[in-house]
Amino acid sequence: MLLGRSGAGKSTLLRALNGLVRPSSGEVRVHDLGLSLNTPAALRAHRQRTGMVFQQHHLIGRQTVLANVLMGTLGRRRLWASLLPWSLQDKRLALDALDRVGLLDKALARADTLSGGQQQRVGVARALVQQPRLLLADEPVASLDPHTAEQVLSWLHGICRRDGLAAVISLHQLDLARRFADRIVGLHQGAVVFDGPPQALNAAAEARLYASLADPEHTSPSMDRPIPDSAPPLTPRAPFAQAQSELLT
């Protein structure tokens, strides 16, 4: 997980990992592609198997939740195929992704009728339907209340464990990072000031991580608390087999 004050470079790093911005120096290399992302072919192959969860939801409000999740399959479809109706296989993948984030019962609801927390979970499902090998998430729980934020990260952690999925997630909340991270990378003014396991993030490391730009000795982790929203508690998951049968007929 990536930690750091606002403006430390967390979002820029995530976007560089997905080729959305170019690093000012050096290059991003993907191990099994054997190439840097400077070539169009390598960048396209990397993006096809990299899921991205943005801080803003980027949903189409007038479309259904299912349709928004299906957008995640466009990266592996040819241009002409994107004009055709969604296949039955794609719909099943989308419904399974919604089931995994607890929103199967909202599949046919308009996206703009959901709460902020539910919309973020739709964004997670949209990334999962890509069947990615790498998941990048830019402050995915920043706008959620503490209870919902913990549940969303618990889902993500469980999905990554079961699927063998690598994830790079930026956060502000130290307590959540300590609980769910396998490795923490701390950024300050674009530089790495901490890199290690959660248990190694002690008070001295926190002081370096959250040092004020005006006073290096000043720390302000209290500025990085989540902003709660009015999202209702998560609803129980609907039986997947029954809902899938109704939605695919």
Q: Which residues contact 48 (CB under 8 A, 6 or more apart)?
A: 75, 76, 130
- The mean-pLDDT minimum among 31-45, 134-148, 161-175, 192-206 falls in 31-45
CATH number, domain with residue 139: 3.40.50.300
Q: pLDDT tens for residues 72-89?
A: 888 776 665 666 778 889
pLDDT of 63 > 90? The answer is: yes
Q: Which residue range is the domain that position 115 belongs to? A: 2-248
Q: Give the percent of the chain with pLDDT over 70.
A: 80
Average pLDDT over residues 47-56: 83
Is the predicted pLDDT of residue 97 greater than 60, yes or no?
yes
pTM check: above 0.85: no
Chain centroid to CA 110: 21
Where on the phi/psi map is residue 102: left (φ > 0), alpha (ψ -120 to 50), or beta?
left
pLDDT tens, position by position, 172-229: 888 999 999 999 999 998 889 999 999 999 888 888 888 755 444 444 443 344 434 4
Distances (CA, A) of 158 to 108, 125, 152, 165, 240: 26, 14, 10, 10, 18
- The domain tally of the chain equals 1
Amino acid at the residue 203: A
Higher pLDDT, residue 234 or 23: 23
